[in-house]
Amino acid sequence: MTRLHTRNPVRSLLASCLILGSSFTVSATTQAPPSLALPVIPAPQQVLPSAASYTVNSRTVLSGSDEAARTVAAQFSQLLGKTSPLQLNLAEGKTNAATGIHFQLDPALADATEGSYQLDVAAQGIRIRAASTAGLFHGAMTLLQMLTPATGSDVAVPAVSITDAPRFSWRGFMLDSARHFQSVDDIKLLLDAMALHKLNVFHWHLTDDQGWRMEIKRYPKLTEVGSCRSPAGEAGVNADGTAHLYCGFYTQEQIRDVVAYAAARHITVVPEIDVPGHAQAAVAAYPEHGVVDGPTQPSANWGVNPYLFNPRDETLQFLENILAEVMQMFPGKYIHIGGDEAVKYQWQDSPQVQAYIRELGLKDEEALQSHMLKRLEKYLEAHDRKLIGWDEIIEGGLPPEATVMSWRGIEGGIEAATHGHDVVMTPGNTLYLDFLQTNLPDEPPGRPKFTSMQRIYAYDPVPEQLTAAQRKHVIGVQANMWTEHTRTFARLQHNVFPRMAALAEIAWTPLERKSYDDFLARLPAQLQRYKALGIGYGQTALSVAMKRQDDRAADKVTVELSNPLSYRDIRYTTDGSTPTAHSASYGAALTLPVPTTLTAQTFFNGKPLTDAPNRWVFDGASLLRRTDKTLATCPEGGRLQLRLEDDNPLEGPRDSFDVTIFNPCWLWEDAQLQDIASIKVRAGRIPYNFGLLKPEEAKRGYRKPVARHGEFEVRAGCHGRVLATAPLPEKPGKDGFIELQAPLRAGPEQVTDLCITFSGDTRPQMWVLDEITLQPRK
Site residues (vs ligand ACM, CB under 6 A): 2-3, 340-341, 390, 407
DSSP secondary structure code for residue 43 in this structure: P
Closest distance of CB 372 from ligand ACM, Å: 18
Q: What angle do CA 509, 515, 518 make, to 5 degrees?
A: 105
Three-state secondary structure call for residue 264: helix
Q: Which is nearer to ligand ACM, 340 or 365 (CB)?
A: 340
Q: Which is nearer to ligand ACM, 2 or 573 (CB)?
A: 2
Cα–Cα distance for residue pair 1/297, rounded to 1 Å = 18
Cα–Cα distance for residue pair 712/683, rounded to 1 Å = 10
Q: Which is nearer to ligand ACM, 302 or 519 (CB)?
A: 302
Q: Which of 210, 184, 209, 212 minimizes the C-alpha distance to 269? A: 184
Q: Which of 124, 109, 135, 250 minimizes the C-alpha distance to 181? A: 250
- Are the C-beta atoms of residues 84 and 147 closer than 8 Å to each other? yes
Q: Which is nearer to ligand ACM, 102 or 336 (CB)?
A: 336
Which listed residue (215, 274, 341, 365) is catalytic? 341
Q: What amino acid is encoded at 262 in this protein?
A: A
Closest distance of CB 390 from ligand ACM, Å: 5
DSSP secondary structure code for residue 728 in this structure: -
Q: Is residue 399 reached through a cis peptide bond, with omega within 30 degrees of 0 on the bond before it?
A: no
DSSP secondary structure code for residue 680 in this structure: E
The answer to whether 208 is a known catalytic residue is yes
- Are the C-beta atoms of residues 172 and 426 closer than 8 Å to each other? yes
Residues in the chain: 778
Backbone angles phi, psi at 100, to 5 degrees: 70, -155
Q: For the chain, how many helices (H) and strands (E)?
A: 20, 42
Q: Which is nearer to ligand ACM, 8 or 328 (CB)?
A: 8
CA R_g for the chain: 28
Closest distance of CB 496 from ligand ACM, Å: 16
Backbone angles phi, psi at 566, to 5 degrees: 80, 25
Closest distance of CB 692 from ligand ACM, Å: 14
Which listed residue (102, 138, 203, 278) is catalytic? 278
The answer to whether 278 is a known catalytic residue is yes
Closest distance of CB 24 from ligand ACM, Å: 22
Closest distance of CB 484 from ligand ACM, Å: 10
Q: Which is nearer to ligand ACM, 431 or 681 (CB)?
A: 431
Q: Is residue 764 reached through a cis peptide bond, with omega within 30 degrees of 0 on the bond before it?
A: yes
- Are the C-beta atoms of residues 403 and 387 closer than 8 Å to each other? yes
DSSP string, 414-470: HHHHHTT--EEE--HHHHBTTB-SSS-TTS-SBBSS---HHHHHH--SS-TTS-HHH
Q: Which is nearer to ligand ACM, 2 or 268 (CB)?
A: 2
- Are the C-beta atoms of residues 553 and 508 closer than 8 Å to each other? no
Closest distance of CB 49 from ligand ACM, Å: 45
**Residue 293 CB neighbour total at 10 angstroms:** 7
Per-residue CA distances from 448 to 112, 429, 440, 632 (Å) = 43, 12, 9, 12
Closest distance of CB 277 from ligand ACM, Å: 9
Question: Beta strand pairing status for 125-130 and 170-176?
Answer: unpaired
Q: Which is nearer to ligand ACM, 138 or 336 (CB)?
A: 336
Three-state secondary structure call for residue 253: helix
Q: Which is nearer to ligand ACM, 205 or 265 (CB)?
A: 205
Which listed residue (208, 377, 628, 646) is catalytic? 208
Closest distance of CB 393 from ligand ACM, Å: 11
Closest distance of CB 727 from ligand ACM, Å: 41
- Are the C-beta atoms of residues 210 and 178 closer than 8 Å to each other? yes
Q: Which residue's CB atom is positioned nearest to ligand ACM?
A: 2
The answer to whether 341 is a known catalytic residue is yes
How far is Cα of residue 299 from the mean position of the Cα atoms in its chain? 22
Q: Which is nearer to ligand ACM, 413 or 664 (CB)?
A: 413
Cα–Cα distance for residue pair 387/376, rounded to 1 Å = 8
Q: Burial of 639 by CB count in 10 Å (0-12 exposed, 13-18 middle, 19+ buried)?
A: middle
Active-site residue numbers? 208, 278, 341
